[in-house]
Structure 1
Amino acid sequence: MLAPEHRISALDQLDSKGIMHYLHIADVAKTLEKQDEEMQMWRQTKSRNGKMVPFEDYPRYAEVDEYLEKIAADYSDIVTLVNAGSSYENRPIKYLKLSSQITLHKSKPIYFMDAMIHAREWVTTPVALYTIHRLVENLRDQDRDLLHDIDWIILPLVNPDGYEYSHTDFRLWRRTRSIGSALNSTCIGVDANRNFDVEFNTVGVGLPCSDTFPGSEPFSEPETAIIRDVMAEHDGRIQLYMNIHSHGNWILYGFGNRTLPSNAVHLHHVAASMGAAMDALKLPAAGFYKVGNSALILYQTSGSAQDYGQAVGIPFSYTLELPGYGWAFQVPPQFIEHINAETWEGIAVTARLARSYYRQRDNFLRGSSIATDVRS
């Protein structure tokens, strides 16, 4: 994004070096303002037709919190609300445990899902909330096995500080909101998806003021430490970890340094099945899902949640990138309902496949070792 006074000189430099370029958005600020107006009109129309629920909209932090509290109170026989700790700005970060036996049962695999680790990726939290809705409020006969045979941990809002800031100050904010890093005291926050203790600060990271700054050390952020602690608490039982992002129609697995886990074939099987289920329902404006190693399909990274989950022994650890429909991170709310519905079908497929592998776990490689170099 160029300030008007820098436009000519910047384009001249590109031209002088033979670098191809094109104009994507003429005025980003006006585009964001127009989208805000359209969202407000959409909400007014929806609210006239009945009470809106959080997974049909882009709910604020307080609305997400209220929904989790309500679900836990109304369905206390199968739902446990956990206050896992506080964000940097002291917002409680909560998640739900879902189990047909109230407490998580040791004989059952756990499906761990989180969303909104990157603040600007608004469409991710509705998917997590809709998953709760389908497993609790609207559990259908064909899906009863998903709650009977599997326990769930769902954390809908990993980065509440950044998320609120993206609503109030800067729509495209990505990072956390921590201040006073040991490396830099002027740049705010870190990229939470580079802050995990796996190949930390090696590839795919930036300087302190960049969007990919990993922080001064692994787990410097309370938000990422919460994910780490969930994985540690349920070590050996979490069969699948889904770190939900947008945008791009990708289902990615480790490792971000262009090596593969030893169970890469199984990882690909589950991911490809998920992609096929979602592609069957996709809108024409969306691309087909691409499935594969994150470094080969997207770019190299280090310190990601996906890689950390795989490294600590979760057999199936993924990054899911939801559709953008050409709108990037500003997906119009009219698309939320469809994204929820198609993604739920993919989640159900992965849950059942991972469960089948869990039943064979004595003979199954858990994939925690980095076994195969695919750079050639």
Structure 2
Amino acid sequence: MNVKHIFIFLFAIAVTSAVKNYDGYKVYKVEIKTNDELNVLKQVQSRNIGEFWEDQFDVSHVVKIMVAPARQVQFLEVLKSADVEVTEVIRDLQGTTESLFSLNWNQYHSLDEIYTWMDELAAAYPDIVSIYSIGRSFEDREIKGVILNYKPFENRTLIGMIEGTLHAREWISAATVTWIIKEFLTSTDPQVRALAENFEWHIFPVVNPDGYVYTFNH
């Protein structure tokens, strides 16, 4: 996927949303330790018992698998019978997606609200999300963002950078960038998952905090 296609795809993420309902869907995590475990997971995939969020996986990889309510008993029985350790990481995918903490996309949010939301993400996803600051503005406001890294123990050569709100009144820019963060954390679309997990993302919703705050007050 080249740079042009990446930005087109990011735009598509920002302006569309999935209509499917995921009530009761769970997400499980498995660390593949042996070839036998790998073969069991490939059987799960081929039998459509669960939807894998990784396009490719092998021994020593960690995979996340989304499982529909009707398939959860079967999924756990298959893994248990093969002595494959599994961890539930999302109990209710629909609820997680709908209530992603303090932010929503029905209104524009202040700088403090956006920064608080990012802190909440870092607390909720400590293995994936970390807070990062690139300095302070002229009026001494922090220029704050997040780093999303699904594979923190791997040496990364691919780093993605997204910046929003370079111009003060472009409120839609901050909303777009925060929406992309949400999708990278919660989307079940395999293409979104691949994009989210194969890059280390450095994302800054508001790189002009002084101007953004000014437009909220004037």
Q: What TM-score, normalized to structure 1?
A: 0.30
Q: Which has the higher strand share?
A: 2
Task: Pick 1 or 2: higher relative contact order, CA cutoff 8 A, min separation 6.
Answer: 2
Q: What TM-score, normalized to structure 2?
A: 0.50
